[in-house]
Amino acid sequence: MGSQIARRVKRQFGDESGVQVTNDDVIMWLNDAMREAVIQNSGINLKRKFVPSTAGEAFYSLPDPTNVAAVHSIQFRHMNDEAYEALQFMTPAQLDEFFPDWHTGYSHNTQAGTPAFYATDSSSKFKVYPVPDTTDGLGFSVLYNSFF
């Protein structure tokens, strides 16, 4: 879809050969527009993917990280339960204030149990606190707004 839009935009600019306006330029503009659309309407272009949880692990990769405009929510299920529980988003500063040991070590926290909070440290990772005390192939359910 993005390449079709890029062709139409380049045709409109009179640059079908892509000398001044490349497909990457158009995709970048589309993604900027998507970010703005997400700010205006958080329900736009939602996707849900599952991320395995690992006992003792704090850091996880977002599904398809180059396609994530914004994380809408992250849920966790404990020990293959049917139901997922929503994790509460906190900034790293909030986690520092309320849970000073949340960032102990690089990938492991000192607290293990059922995750209740998450923070994003980049556009490609999220970190949970406390760390899971179990491993589950479908441990986290990530709902996010996707780019084009």
Check residue 107 and give its pLDDT: 47
Q: Cα(16)–Cα(27) distance, rounded to whole angstroms?
A: 15
Work out the average pLDDT over 60-77: 87
Work out the average pLDDT over 60-84: 86
Close Cβ partners of 127 (under 8 Å, ≥ 6 residues apart): 58, 59, 60, 118, 119, 120, 121
Question: Looking at per-residue confidence, does 29 or 90 come out higher?
Answer: 90
Work out the average pLDDT over 112-139: 88
The percentage of residues in the chain with a pLDDT greater than 70, rounded to a whole number, is 91
Work out the average pLDDT over 83-97: 90
Work out the average pLDDT over 46-62: 92
